[in-house]
Amino acid sequence: MKIGFLASHGGSNMQAIIDACKSGKLEAIPAVVVSNNSDSGAIARARTEGVPHYYLSGKTHPDPVELDQAILDALLRHGVDIVILAGYMKKLGPKTLAHFRGRILNVHPALLPKFGGAGMYGIHVHEAVIAAGEKESGVTIHLVDDQYDTGPILAQRRVPVMPDDTPETLAARVLTEEHILYSETLQRIATGELSLPT
């Protein structure tokens, strides 16, 4: 199973998946990394790991149709079977979505359907969870469709919210579980234990 990554920032989830591939816990190959941020940690990690990488954004391709095609071309060029969003902050274009429908995964740092949708990313999610007085949060791995955070849920893991949590401490606890659950879910797909819709 060849994995294509789309990432905008640090790429820690991507690194956790690459590490799982290297250790044999995940039977997959990191095939390519696409980032819309030329200075992203994800690009730096890809360079360090020897994974082919591309900077593709509204700056390199001002026409959204051409950007969509360029991203799809990069994924196809490297024989990608499954696409992983690892902190990718842009909506995917219709061509990429259509070609990889049912094979694009995202991680969300809360228990969807709660605390999802436009604007619900990063620290904003954890701020909302704490403000709502939730006793638990967690991680959701879901398929990507053309809306934010509405695709079918593949896996979830609960994380307690402590009375003295700040958004930052909760984020750190959730991120630890993201790193584990993302790779575990991918391994279940690789072995056929978890079937994706066709």
Task: For residue 124, indicate whether it is catalytic.
Answer: no
Q: Which helix (H) or strand (E) holds 137?
A: strand 136-143
Tokens 């591309």: give the residue.
54
What single string gives the DSSP state of each residue in 119-174?
Answer: T--THHHHHHHHHTT-SEEEEEEEE--SSTT-SPEEEEEEEEPPTT--HHHHHHHH
Core vs surface per residue 53-76: b (16+ CB within 10 A) or e? bbebbeeebeeeeebbebbbebbe
Q: Which of 9, 53, 99, 108 is catalytic?
A: 108
Query: Which residues are identified as catalytic?
Result: 108
